[in-house]
Amino acid sequence: MFAALDLGTNNCRLLIVASGRSGVKVIDNYNRVVRLGEGLYETGVLSEAAMSRTLSALHHCADRIEKRKLFQLYAVATEACRRAKNASDFLGKVHKETGLNINVITSREEVELAVAGCATLFHDKLLRRNRTKSLLFDIGGGSTEIAWVRMDVLRGKQTLIGCHSIPVGVITLREQFKKLTLNEYYRMVEYVLDKMHSFECIHQIRAEIFRDQVQLIGVSGTVTALASMILKQPKYCRSAIDGLLLPTVQLKDIIRQILTTKFNKIYDYSIVNHQRLQYLLPGCAIYEAINTLWPVEDIVIADRGIRDGIIATMLQKKPLVSKNYRSRHAHNL
């Protein structure tokens, strides 16, 4: 068995799989919203409430891990712990109480793991449509990662040409733009756009798009939520979402519907639960900025990410940090 833990700015996620002759089987899949980065934009530190919520979730993860005879575990933390002044103290407390040794990874390592997790999507003929390059984006709670990837069709491999980390995610953007007005929404879009132009200048991605050479892959709760709304799912179904190919105009249409119901005060819960809008709207603004600068006509929705990349890397027997878990009952994995 292999386990991957991803401690993000908004979510804490654990994935445990078993690998055998019949293939890979998911044994446990845990996801909890912890909002670790809440308040971080203004204070520069992780708040006591956020750390308490997160520590509780990590205790649950440790309990689930204790039940398994793991071959390898790799646990990572991303933008909130990269940025917070007290992250080291917090992760030290986590290790002491749960046995989990969580590695703070760089933005490039985060991108590489997201790319590894989406490997099969790069080479699916129906999704790729004879395109030679892929633009992958992952909208997180504290940052948005962008990967520019070259696809080697004959060898079935992909190469990371370049990556860009924007220090803007659904939590940080919400805290920067406190008033959720329609004008503020479009200010968010412009704010994110401004942070991506340097990457476009270097790689000239728009020129490749106009030659129809670019596959767009969206990784995040924002795009999976929008896709679920488009399909009008009464309950979220991952198997119907992961790998779904949609025209980007459909995502724009559903965002327009969300904006209309929100700002015209038409509380249509068949479209979206309005309690979720405080984080969904910033995610929509980030997506709109990406698709405005890089207007690919269709998008592959990926319900996968860092955890999947960690598992894929383990299964390929590539090096990660091993033995990064100390059982609370003093036995080593």
pLDDT of residue 332 exceeding 90: no
pLDDT computed for residue 277 by the predictor? 74
pLDDT computed for residue 331 by the predictor? 30
State the average pLDDT over residues 9-17. Answer: 96
Residues 205 and 293 grouped into a single domain: yes
Residues 158 and 206 grouped into a single domain: yes
246 part of a folded domain: yes
19 part of a folded domain: yes
pLDDT computed for residue 274 by the predictor? 52
325 part of a folded domain: no
Picking from 59-68, 148-157, 162-171, 220-229, which range would have the lowest pLDDT averaged per residue? 148-157
C-alpha distances (whole Å) from 4 to each of 114, 263, 307, 324 are 13, 40, 5, 11
pLDDT computed for residue 172 by the predictor? 93
Residues 253 and 280 grouped into a single domain: yes
State the average pLDDT over residues 204-218. Answer: 97
Q: What is the pLDDT of residues 297-307, one digit of tens each?
A: 999 999 999 99
| Percent of the residues in the chain that have a pLDDT greater than 70, as a whole number | 92
Count the domains in the chain.
2
CA dist 331 and 312 (Å) reads 26
DSSP result, 103-146: EE--HHHHHHHHHHHTHHHHT-HHHHTT-SEEEEEEE-SS-EEE
More confident position, 105 or 264: 105
Range of the domain at 6: 2-106+308-315
State the average pLDDT over residues 188-192. Answer: 97
**pLDDT-derived band at 324, boundaries 50, 70, 90:** very low
Q: Which domain CATH number covers 52?
A: 3.30.420.40
pLDDT of residue 329 exceeding 60: no
CA dist 311 and 288 (Å) reads 31
Measured between its terminal Cα atoms, the distance across the chain in Å is 11
Q: What is the pLDDT of residues 265-317, one digit of tens each?
A: 655 545 555 556 788 999 999 999 999 999 999 999 999 999 999 999 999 87
Q: What is the pLDDT of residues 223-243, one digit of tens each?
A: 999 999 999 998 999 999 999
Q: What is the pLDDT of residues 98-124, one digit of tens each?
A: 999 999 999 999 999 999 999 999 989
pLDDT of residue 328 exceeding 70: no
Picking from 52-61, 201-210, 253-262, which range would have the lowest pLDDT averaged per residue? 253-262
Residues 79 and 195 grouped into a single domain: no
Q: Which domain CATH number covers 142?
A: 3.30.420.150
Decide: 148 and 163 in contact? Cβ < 8 Å: yes
